[in-house]
Structure 1
Amino acid sequence: MEIAMRAPLDPPFEEISPPLRAFLGRTLPPSMSPAVLGDNVEEGRILPVSWTRLHTESNLGSHSPEIIVIVDAPQLVLHPARFVRAMLTIRETWPSALIHAPGVSGADTMALLTFLGVDLHDTARCRVSAVSGSVIDSFGPRKCQSDESLEELLSISVQAMLAEARTIRAALARGGMRALVESRASSSPRAMEMLRFRDEALAVSHPSSGPLVVRSGRRFEVAGGEVLHSPTVRDWHMFIDTCWKPPAQQTRAMVLLPCSATKPYTRSPSHAAFRRRLHHPSIHEMMVTSPFGLVPRELEMLWPAAHYEVPVSGRWSYDEREMLCERLALLIERVQPEVIIDHALPDGLIEQVKRRTKHDIHLLECTELSGTDDLVSKGTTVIRTLRSDSSPTAETNLELLEKVGLCVIDGLNLKRSSGRELALEQLRSVARRLHGSDAWLDHCSLSGRPPQWRVCFQGHEVAEWLPNRGRFAFRANGIPFLGQTNVFPLVELTGDHPLRGDVFARMILDTPNNLREGQDVIIVSDGKVVGMGRVVSPGWECGRTPGVQVKVTRRVPSTSL
């Protein structure tokens, strides 16, 4: 095998390097795995691999290639589950290497292959298609049209690939790769199989994956029903199902509100109207939306809840209803609120929840609510304030919401709590999402003005909550204190690389393998805390790829807490 370069790609980028060569060795069809090949690949800049070789050659992981070639890619793509497993294994074993899957790329498959990890694409499939009198565009192979000559077929397919490459680069830049892949895969059953197998594989190997904090302009684009199974959505579902709990002042009563086109929801006119009618901070506000199911008010500023766009039609598909029913059933069983005001659920869904859960749910129409005594019952009382086939912001529905809200406040004798005490509990919920624990907020207090609260420990400011960015900004003087809480993961540097700028791969001595993009970490050198930063790459890649691994946000000054 020989790969020739057409541009100076090696440092110092002044002249074109000689071609790269590698010995392919024996290759057997994937169906014959795990047959022993009887030879081993040699160390070099190119590493040829196959499904059989991945399962039989135990020392492959010791190689450090720059380019990996999946030599049996045309046969492997006929088995979507195997191809996905091979891609995930290769990408996580050699995260800094470029991956080439020869003979499978085209304008219709480039987006999915790039999404799975393929970096280098060729025109072999386009050439074969042109010989047979076909063209490959973004919708797949097609017969040539009457105004297309046979000599132009290859050029048409290649131009379609170049156009698709530009579309992919734009989607990667704006964070919309998932939506592009779903739109392309919808025309190919095999491509959709690969996407589903990828989601299932990541749900097992990386149940908590995806970024925690993103740049302000990034969007989570919702393209179709497959998004319900994406790692980002599954991660949110798992957190709400297992880790989320309401602030201590809001455990007894909850109101379910619809989502809005404006994100975060608080800034929308509809939610301003809802909040004017509720009157009391002791009723927890929970938004009902697809694909995330439930979004607590205190987490609406976080990724992805503040960054997604979904068509608002008021109609729920079967899969969406099932997803929402499961989220509600798990939440009611775990949190067990005394009263839930339903101002958002589609017709008949709360009855589904009641049938699915063992927790005692008492359904009460707002017209049946004659006084506070109706709220006294075992389990959870659900009161619906949304009339069928009407808007949640209709005046009659808002009046019902206000009436029921006042009745719940009186019936449960809810007390108003300090605004700062409630805000601290809400920030604890944020910390559990972003940092996995709220222990660093123990013995802390709040100062400043809402919503940009300052977090103080023993009178010293250690962090500031930035709602517009969905994260905390930590102060340099508080980093040693934060390091003592054992909440933040440690990134250990080698002793011969002092912390002067950002953290690069060659500077890292040790790091956890479960880090997530945007996660806050403590930077340690020679056993001392020297700074704090945010992770740029996921844990399986951190320290093993070129470039910045941790963006340093603060360095420890000479005097600190």
Structure 2
Amino acid sequence: MLVKRFGLAKVTENTISTPALWRVDDDIKFEDGYFIFPGGKIEKKIFFPPEIGEMEIKLNNDIYLIPNIPTMLKDTKSLVRHTFELRDKLGYDKLFYAPGTPPHLFPIMVYLGYDIFDNSQEKLGNYSLVGKVEESSSEFSEFMIRQVKIALQEGKLRELVESIADNKSKEILRLLDMKYYNKVEMFWPIWNRSLDAVTLDSLHRPDIKRWIFRLKERYEKPKWAKHLLLIPCSAKKPYSESKSHRLMREYIKSTMHEIILTSPLGLVPRELERFYPAQNYDIPVIGHWYEEEKKLITELLQWYLEKFQYESIVAYLPENMKFLESLLKEYDATMIWGRDLESLKNITRDIGYHVSWKKVLLENFRILAKFQFGCCDELFNNATIKGRFPRINIWRDNDRIFSYNQEKGMLTLAATSAECLAKNKKYTVYIDDFYPEGDVFAIGVIDATPEIREGDEVAIVHDGEIRGWGTAKMCSYDMIYQRRGKAVKVRGKIKI
């Protein structure tokens, strides 16, 4: 049963829990030409070497042995392409056993979607030309598989993979980032507790690229936003709770639309600062920008300034961000380099533009709805906000349409907003003819719209009728193809 995914990597629990390490002579045995492995003592006669053209060996309905992994590792592009060909053919729910994988490559191979490994590489060290020598341990294999399990449990497999100083591991990772983003991203959760962007490879993480793509596809600036203020990020997240940003706000004397410039996200509108990964990421800070980071920020800011117009632009940025100076000049921005808060106060006071905080907050939630769902922002027309942080609800005509989850920076659904999603055929799970008494499991799902990721808010529908709403515990692919496991944690349902 599927428990958790991070991209192609998955945690499963059943007869065999994965990721798994099978030990030669203990878990794996060869007797009378038969291959005996864990999981119900199923036997399969395997011929070595595999027949020409044999791409996979079915061990049972769930597990496939993928032969010749050590040989395929010599050609990274072929290995990755071959893996996706098998996945597209057999399904992304099957367990892949990769015998002979070197232990230091366990993390990247799990990231690539392999589930079961063995210690045969270490066992080979027990033999010489004169036969078996003194027994060696499998401690390294066991250590590496243990590290992978811990990383998956903590949501840090990507960080572990990036930390492996190995050319082959980096080749596979970069191929996945560059050429297979869509296949990896569809299994990547919409939220994670933390994101440590510790290397330049982090710039190409699926959740980072998804943030940038979503900005370009869904984001629109607030209707009240007439004057733009560009400011730096802070170590503390969300930015608004940092000492530097709280101090800065004391000197901002007009209603300014604040955009935070940062790596690895490029830019973060203030109204989205709690949406993953904006309040969850951390980076090493040394006061130096690498060229890749400069390029990311410059290109994204240029896109933003070309798309959205303002009456005035003010840039309050540190000296080490002067690489943006020529771009800002093109848009007649007023630039303040360093920490001249008095200049910030004087310039924003002269702008003299003020909008009520209640109006700003409601519009900011509308922008969040558009960013999160790509639709249903029209529900905010004539809406009102009730409550105080962190317990905020949005109402319209005595009907609660959304609540706000401050921890995740996301809106949560109510009946009206769930109906809106279903009408737009977005973030909707289609179930068999039943009214959920508890959570919805994969066996009861007929279909699901393709944009759903684990952690998304979803509507639950049967034959055009809303049956409930809640939080996706699987992506849409798994909801459709898995037969076991929780698909939606139901938070609200229609009573019959």
Q: Please, what TM-score do these two structures have when normalized by structure 2? A: 0.84
Which residues of structure 1 form unaligned runs of 5+? 10-16, 30-36, 47-64, 134-149, 355-360, 363-379
The answer for the alignment partner of 1:258 in structure 2 is 232
Are residue 4 (structure 1) and residue 4 (structure 2) matched? no
- Match for residue 446 of structure 1? 384
The residue aligned with 1:202 is 180
Three-state SS of the structure 2 residue aligned to 1:81 is helix
The answer to whether structure 1 residue 405 and structure 2 residue 380 are counterparts is no
- Between Structure 1 and Structure 2, the one with more strand by share is 2
The more displaced of 425-434 and 435-444 is 435-444
Change (3 A) 1:431 1:172: same
Task: Determine the C-alpha separation between the residues in 1 that align with 2:45 and 2:470.
Answer: 41
Asked if 1:333 is matched to 2:300, the reply is no
Greater mean deviation of Cα atoms: 168-177 or 238-247: 238-247
- Go from structure 1 to structure 2 and tell me whether the alpha carbon gap of 1:244 and 1:490 turns closer, same or farther (over 3 Å shift): closer
Deviation by residue 1:192-220 (Cα, 9 ceiling, x = unmatched): 11000011233355677733344xxx111
Equivalent residue in structure 1 for 2:264, among 291, 301, 308? 291
Match of 1:173 in 2: 153
2:106 aligned residue (103, 110, 120): 110
Q: What is the CA-CA distance between 1:164 and the residue it aligns to?
A: 1.9
| Residue equivalent to 2:199 | 224
CA contact (8 A) 1:536 1:551 kept: yes
SS of alignment partner, residue 480 of structure 2: coil
Contact 2:314 2:333 in 1 (8 A): yes
CA-to-partner distance for each residue in 1:454-488, whole Å, 9 max, x for gaps? 2112222122122233122333x536643564264
Measure, in 2, the Cα distance between the counterparts of 1:516 and 1:472: 15
Counterpart contact for 1:25–1:41, Cα < 8 Å = no
Is 1:317 aligned to 2:300, yes or no? no
Residue 384 of structure 1 and its aligned partner are, at CA, apart by: 1.7
Question: Which aligned pairs between 1:159-170 and structure 2 lie closer than 5 A?
Answer: 159-170=139-150
2:359 to 421, 431, 434: 421
Give the Cα separation in 1 of the matches to 2:148 and 2:183.
26
AA aligned to 1:343 is: Y
- Whether the 8 Å contact between 2:402 and 2:417 is mirrored in structure 1 is no
Q: Deviations over 1:349-398 (max 9, x none)?
A: 224536xxxxxx44xxxxxxxxxxxxxxxxx32122123xxxx4xxxx11
The separation in 1 between residues aligned to 2:348 and 2:207, in whole angstroms, is 34
Query: Which SS does the other structure have where 2:215 is aligned?
Result: helix
Q: Which amino acid aligns with 2:373?
A: H
Unaligned runs of 5+ in 2: 1-32
Cα 1:504/1:488, change in 2 over 3 Å:
same
Question: Which 10-residue stretch deviates more, 480-489 or 71-80?
Answer: 480-489
Aligned with 1:385: secondary structure? strand
Larger Rg: 1
- Cα distance in structure 2, aligned partners of 1:556 and 1:235: 33
> How far, CA to CA, are the matches of 1:319 and 1:443 in structure 2?
41
- Cα distance in 2, alignment partners of residues 161 and 117 from structure 1: 18
Q: Residue 122 of structure 1: CA displacement?
A: 0.6
Contact 2:56–2:64, Cα closer than 8 Å, also in 1: no
Residue aligning to 2:93: 96
Q: Secondary structure of the residue that 1:465 maps to in structure 2?
A: strand
Aligned to 1:233: 208
Match of 2:241 in 1: 267
Q: Give the Cα–Cα distance (whole angstroms) in 2 for the partners of residues 68 and 279 of structure 1.
A: 64
For residues 338 and 265 of structure 1, do their structure 2 counterparts lie closer, same or farther at Cα, with a shift above 3 Å needed? same
Identity %: 25
User: How far apart are residue 442 of structure 1 and its match?
Assistant: 4.3
Q: Is the 1:326–1:353 contact (alpha carbons within 8 Å) kept by the matching residues of 2?
A: no
Paired residue for 2:134, among 151, 160, 173? 151
TM-score relative to the length of structure 1 = 0.75
Task: Give 2:406's aligned residue.
Answer: 467
User: Is the aligned partner of 1:71 residue 2:67?
Assistant: yes
Contact 1:202–1:231 under 8 Å retained in 2: no
Specify the alignment match of 1:249 in structure 2. 224
Match of 2:273 in 1: 300
Q: Which residue of 2 aligns with 1:517?
A: 454
1:260-286 Cα shifts (integer Å, max 9, x gaps): 1211111111110011110222x1111
Q: Per-residue displacement from partner, 1:317-374 (whole Å, max 9, x unpaired)?
A: 11111111111111111113332222226343224536xxxxxx44xxxxxxxxxxxx
Query: Would you say how many aligned residue pairs link Structure 1 and Structure 2?
Result: 458
Q: Letter of the aligned partner of 2:261 in structure 1?
A: V
Contact 1:343–1:385 (CA<8 Å) still a contact in 2? Answer: yes
SS at match of 1:121: strand
Shift in Å, 1:89: 3.9
| Deviation, structure 1 residue 67 | 0.5
- Aligned letter for 1:192? K
In structure 2, the partner of 1:144 is none
SS at match of 2:490: strand
Q: Is the 8 A contact 1:24 1:41 kept in 2?
A: no
Q: 1:436 to 1:24 in 2, by over 3 A?
A: farther
Kindly provide the CA deviation profile for residues 468-510 of structure 1, in whole angstroms up to 9, marking residues without a partner as x: 33122333x5366435642643212123x54222222211112
Q: Is the 8 A contact 1:208 1:235 kept in 2?
A: no
The one-letter amino acid paired with 2:80 is V
Partners of 2:153 and 2:56 in 1: CA distance: 37
**Native 8 Å contact 2:376 2:417 kept in 1:** no
Q: For residues 269 and 132 of structure 1, what CA distance do their matches in structure 2 show?
A: 64
The 3 A distance-change label for structure 1 pair 113 and 417 is: same
Q: CA deviation at 1:316?
A: 0.5
Where do residues 73-88 of structure 1 align in structure 2 (5 Å cutoff)?
73-88=69-84
Distance 2:119 2:355 in 1: 66
Q: Which fold has the larger relative contact order, with Cα–Cα distance below 8 Å and residues 6 or more apart in sequence? A: 2
Q: State the superposition RMSD in angstroms.
A: 2.8
Residue in 1 that maps onto 2:437: 500
**Structure 2 counterpart of 1:246, which letter?**
K
